[in-house]
Structure 1
Amino acid sequence: MSSQPVAVSDRLDAAVLKVAGVVVLGAIMSILDVTVVSVALPTFQSDFDASYAQVAWTMTGYTLALATVIPLTGWAADRFGTKRLYMAALVLFTLGSGLCATADSIGQLITYRVLQGLGGGMLMPLGMTIMTRAAGPERIGRLMAVLGIPMLLGPIGGPILGGWLIDIASWHWIFLINLPIGVASLVYAQKALPKDAPEPSESFDFVGMLMLSPGLALFLYGVSTLPETGTFADTKVWLPMLVGGLLVVGFVLYSFKPKHPLLDLRLLRSRNLTVASVTLAVFTVAFMGAGLLFPSYFLQVRGESTLDAGLLMAPQGIGAMVTMPIAGMLADKIPVGRTVPFAIALMAAGFFAFTQVGTDTSYLLLCGALFVMGLGMGGTMMPIMTSALKTLTNHEVARGTTLLNILQQVAGAVGAAIMSVILTNELNGSPAIPGMVDPRTGAPVTEAGLAIAVERDPALAQQLPVEPGLLQRGLEFVADSFATTFLVAFVLILVTFVPAFLLPRKRQESHLLDDEAGGDGERPAAPVLIH
């Protein structure tokens, strides 16, 4: 039998697409669950009689679980095999979804969301690993475009699906919908994924795990508590952030000692990977932080239903759908340093429109801005990941994707916390209404707070004795608060230009090699052909 590697076309063949289908199904479930829950928060508030800070933990708990489990994924993929681990993650995620639908208190829902996040945290890095190994070096750009499909469907389908299910049924169905998809994904994965070839020789880095996973969880817990307290001075914020930060720093110093660290920071010796990681982090802080507030603007300022708020978000996903496949193909042919800055410019143009929002800003303008923003997003995230992965060998892909996914989760959580704190502090500056207090907390009711409540339930306007013009003043204050928050996100998008201009401007030679072939520069045939 000839030892020459089989030539691999730069097109994605049926075997690769079959594997991609499994990964995309799992990623859709994981990503949809973030965007679906974002429009359900007001419903959780009323059904569980909870504050916004409490119901926000249904998203924060999910993120904390992701950050905790992702560092283990690289080692576990090598030790147990990607297929077994991917299917275990699907089971855990589906089980968590079913339990979420049974929750009868906000505490139970948060607990079950953590369990769901433990499964969801492994789906994306494992999916990236499986697909990158399957496609080979010449097709990473096209591959990232395929993996970007869930990222398109999330912003489009999540808010719409969540709003529709809540309007026609109840919030329970935003979790129940995962059950048939999860079962179908398990059956599909069993048939389509390549047979495992685990490498049990690597030892598990227990010391690293005891520092990194708790460190990330504590740090993100502190950051995520910021919107509730509104200040870094609160012990609930600075103490876990300090302890978590020290554990993460300790891990960074320690991680260069063991042969097989939990998170391989040696990969950052690659300049391209480092630049791509910094660009991705800054971009994610701005985009993910502000992106979660777009539906809130439509719900709280414009008084839209959850379904209509979801539909208004659709242009963003449609814009990304236009550019992401094009960006994926270009990433295989043109250096990303020549294309990504133009995509970021589109993002900045779209964000600028939201810095000017008011109580009656044209929906045509806002939907157009979301579409332009989507065009920019589609041309940014996948090319940056492509640039990073092209610097890795086949054996490093699992650990490289783990590193990128941790970076995204941490940056997304930090971004969401920053934007929530800014918005909350802006809203807290609203004048109080004399003689009116919140019966649940005893705190004075502000003009902005009353305006938001009336937008959610117009019947309140007839029940409360308020002076003419008060509600309009409050609503204008809320709109100005959103505009200020979006301005911060706009500035962060502009900051993204700095690392983006350091991205490779010359064509990169791919190093995604078959390590067992000795790193001789030949393309690996086996990962593509086994199915």
Structure 2
Amino acid sequence: MLDIYPVEQRGMAMSVWGMGVMVGPILGPTLGGYLTYYYNWRYVFFVNLPFGIIAVVGLLFLMPRVKQAATGGFDWLGFGVLALGLAALQIMLDRGEELDWFSNPEIVVAAILAGLGFYLFIVHIMTAKDPFIPRAAFRDMNLNAGLITMFSVGMILLASSALLAPYLENLGNYPVATAGLIMAPRGIGTMGAMMVAGRLTNKVDPRVIMLVGYGMLGLSIYMLEGWTPDVSVGYMTTTIIIQGAGLGFVFVPLQVVAFYTLSPALRTQGTGLLSLVRNVGSAIGISITSALLDRQSQVEHSVLAQYITPFARPLQSGGAVSRMLNPASPAGASLLNSLINTQAQIIAYVDDYKLMLLTTVPAVACLLLMRKPPAAVAAPASPAHAVMD
């Protein structure tokens, strides 16, 4: 799309394309919750089938055929070591929490293979004549800053979904379908922001739009820190819409600014890098926030439990409440433990949100490294799209 559309139309083109990239993961929990509640959780795994068929048919009949320019042979070695590193990293992230991380040999081996794969990939890029990803791509400051920013977007995009769904179901006691509906407005906020950002990208400095987006993300995360199990649906909806709009205001101009100074011949590799970094950021974000949530829940439970003794003054006040919460009775101890678990999880969620807020700091700093967009001058087509039927 960067090659087909002129500079003045790229913002709107990227906003339309970005809707599919961003809104899909956002609306996924809503659709998944509906299918799980009214049908069966197994249907969730087939939800991509009809959309995949439509996409394949559209590509076959609507996408123009292109003749690729002659390039060097495929770098199988570079591809292989990168695939090794990514596969091992994904296994480590997916199974780390289940296997107690590095206390299990499987996770240790996966970490070693991931480190080895990425090390060999870096060495190969620096030494190979025609590496899998050209070295010139990493010399572009806009692309490098865009990769860091996209990593942050990936972490917030899916990590927040992975946190919100269990929060609403376990602490808010909402049914699965209702929890999905509560999260749906984030997609509305994202789509609306993308359409606005697409129109403003060529009129306003895209870096300013991204700064506004990160401001909205920071505000939404700050609002999440104030959530309690009895928070109103209206407040939750407002928070989620603001977060979705923030993601939209960051994603669209980022897709444009990251390629402003990149050679047209490297756009294909740059696009692949952005998608890769977004997916890796999502995987790392989900793993870190899930592990931190479990750990902090246990830590906060132990901290709060030390104040629950038969000598605690609130439990000695007499009356029905003190008798119901009597730690000396099995029923009272069970109820107290349930209340402590709830409060410990709330504090753990707040710790996760603070971590997510910190991930936006380096991304905002990267906005200062991005070069100001040049004047709207049509760029030459990249070799991959130079000849079209």
Q: Same fold (TM over 0.5)?
A: yes
Q: In structure 1, what is the Cα distance between the partners aligned to 2:188 and 2:109?
A: 42
For the residue of structure 1 that corresponds to 2:262, the secondary structure is: coil
Q: In structure 1, what is the Cα distance between the partners aligned to 2:90 and 2:46?
A: 28
1:29 is matched with: none
2:353 aligned with 1:483: no
| CA separation of 1:477 and 1:372: change in aligned 2, threshold 3 A | same
Unaligned runs of 5+ in 2: 304-329
1:314 is matched with: 184
Q: In structure 1, what is the Cα distance between the partners aligned to 2:162 and 2:174?
A: 16
2:169 aligned with 1:302: no
1:336 is matched with: 206
Q: In structure 2, what is the Cα distance between the partners aligned to 1:286 and 1:355?
A: 14
2:6 aligned with 1:139: no
Q: In structure 2, what is the Cα distance between the partners aligned to 1:474 and 1:516?
A: 59
The offset of 1:287, in angstroms, is: 4.0
1:161 is matched with: 31
The offset of 1:225, in angstroms, is: 3.1
Q: What letter is aligned with 1:261?
A: P
2:235 aligned with 1:365: yes
2:64 aligned with 1:194: yes
Question: What CA deviation, in whole Å up to 9, does each residue of 1:292-324 have, x standing for no partner?
Answer: 211111111112111111111122111112211
The offset of 1:508, in angstroms, is: 5.8
Q: In structure 2, what is the Cα distance between the partners aligned to 1:480 and 1:498?
A: 28
Which of 264, 276, 280 does residue 146 from structure 2 map onto?
276
1:474 is matched with: 341
After TM superposition, the structure 1 = structure 2 runs for residues 76-95 of structure 1, keeping only pairs within 5 Å, are none
The offset of 1:397, in angstroms, is: 2.0
Name the larger-Rg structure.
Answer: 2
The offset of 1:227, in angstroms, is: 2.2
Which of 232, 240, 244 does residue 374 from structure 1 map onto?
244
| CA separation of 1:419 and 1:265: change in aligned 2, threshold 3 A | farther
Which of 178, 184, 190 does residue 54 from structure 2 map onto?
184
Q: What letter is aligned with 1:208?
A: G
1:225 is matched with: 95
Q: What letter is aligned with 2:339?
A: Q
Contact 1:145-1:324 at 8 Å conserved across structures: yes
Question: What CA deviation, in whole Å up to 9, does each residue of 1:353-412 have, x standing for no partner?
Answer: 112222222332222111111121110012112111233344322211111111111111
2:156 aligned with 1:289: no
| CA separation of 1:241 and 1:137: change in aligned 2, threshold 3 A | farther
1:492 is matched with: 359
For the residue of structure 1 that corresponds to 2:136, the secondary structure is: helix
2:16 aligned with 1:149: no
**How many aligned residue pairs are there?**
362
1:210 is matched with: 80
| CA separation of 1:389 and 1:243: change in aligned 2, threshold 3 A | same
Contact 1:355-1:483 at 8 Å conserved across structures: yes
Q: In structure 2, what is the Cα distance between the partners aligned to 1:516 and 1:219?
A: 33
Tell which has more relative contact order, 1 or 2 (C-alpha 8 A, sep 6+). 2
Q: What letter is aligned with 1:167?
A: Y
After TM superposition, the structure 1 = structure 2 runs for residues 47-126 of structure 1, keeping only pairs within 5 Å, are none
Which of 285, 291, 310 does residue 421 from structure 1 map onto?
291
The offset of 1:156, in angstroms, is: 4.9
The offset of 1:164, in angstroms, is: 1.4
Q: In structure 1, what is the Cα distance between the partners aligned to 2:282 and 2:35?
A: 26
| CA separation of 1:347 and 1:508: change in aligned 2, threshold 3 A | farther
Question: What CA deviation, in whole Å up to 9, does each residue of 1:479-522 have, x standing for no partner?
Answer: 222122112112222343211232334546668422569xxxxx
| CA separation of 1:215 and 1:346: change in aligned 2, threshold 3 A | same
Q: In structure 1, what is the Cα distance between the partners aligned to 2:192 and 2:298?
A: 40
Contact 2:88-2:110 at 8 Å conserved across structures: yes
1:390 is matched with: 260
Q: What letter is aligned with 1:483?
A: V
Aligned-pair Cα RMSD in Å = 2.8
Unaligned runs of 5+ in 1: 1-130, 433-463, 518-523
For the residue of structure 2 that corresponds to 1:210, the secondary structure is: helix
Q: What letter is aligned with 2:17?
A: L
Q: In structure 2, what is the Cα distance between the partners aligned to 1:187 and 1:467?
A: 57
For the residue of structure 2 that corresponds to 1:426, the secondary structure is: helix
Q: In structure 1, what is the Cα distance between the partners aligned to 2:120 and 2:204?
A: 39
Q: What letter is aligned with 2:364?
A: F
Q: In structure 1, what is the Cα distance between the partners aligned to 2:55 and 2:373?
A: 39
Q: In structure 2, what is the Cα distance between the partners aligned to 1:169 and 1:487?
A: 36
The offset of 1:419, in angstroms, is: 0.7
Contact 2:8-2:376 at 8 Å conserved across structures: no
TM-score by length of 1: 0.62
Q: What letter is aligned with 1:354?
A: L
1:253 is matched with: 123
Q: In structure 1, what is the Cα distance between the partners aligned to 2:379 and 2:220?
A: 35
1:60 is matched with: none
